[in-house]
Amino acid sequence: MNVVTKSGSNKLHGSAFYYLRNSEFDARDPELNFKPTNQQHQFGFTVGGPIRRNRVFFFAGYDQHIFHEPTIVRFVNGANSVVPQLGAGPVTPGDYEADDQTLVSSPQNCSAMPASPSWA
């Protein structure tokens, strides 16, 4: 919240802005074999003016920032997905317990997720 002690104006005034960043305008990253999609929108406005001439004034503003950024993970072996592994003993506990075997897909059934899911 901002508080400003400044007199207003007897004229209605304001401003508006819009900022767009879209991966369609970007070059492909040389370290990746695909082009991830990302979008960033920032927009807003301000408006101010008199409520009662020379006495009471108002001022309001709005700002919205929307990100659609991909999360890209590249492992040392070049893969971009993780296959859950069962532990090999007390020293290496693994990613899940033996009781949860039915909740975890087998490595044969796992496939890499697309780099840019359609729901993102």
How many whole angstroms separate alpha carbon 61 and alpha carbon 16? 9
Instruction: Kindly state whether residue 52 falls inside one of the protein's structural domains.
Output: yes
Give a yes or no: residue 53 inside a domain: yes
Tell whether 104 is covered by a domain: no
Structural domain tally of the chain? Answer: 1
Segment 32-45 mean pLDDT: 86
Residue 46 lies in a domain: yes
User: CA 12, 62, 37, 74 torsion: positive or negative?
Assistant: positive
What b/e string do you get for 25-63 counting C-beta neighbours within 10 Å, with b at 16 or more? eeeeeeeeeeebbbeeeeeeeeebeeeeeeeebeeeeee
Q: Which residues contact 111 (CB under 8 A, 6 or more apart)?
A: 81
Quick check: pTM over 0.85?
Answer: no
* Span 6-26, pLDDT tens digits: 667 889 999 999 999 888 888
Query: Does any domain span residue 26?
Result: yes
CA 25 to chain centroid = 18
Q: Is residue 29 part of a domain?
A: yes
Q: Which residues contact 38 (CB under 8 A, 6 or more apart)?
A: 21, 22, 23, 67, 68, 69, 70
Q: Which pLDDT tens digit goes with each residue over 56-100?
A: 889 899 999 998 877 666 666 666 666 666 677 666 667 666 676
- Find out whether 42 and 36 touch, Cβ atoms under 8 Å: no
| Domain presence at residue 119 | no
Decide if 24 is inside a domain: yes
For residue 42, the enclosing domain spans: 13-74
Element (H, E) at 39: strand 39-52
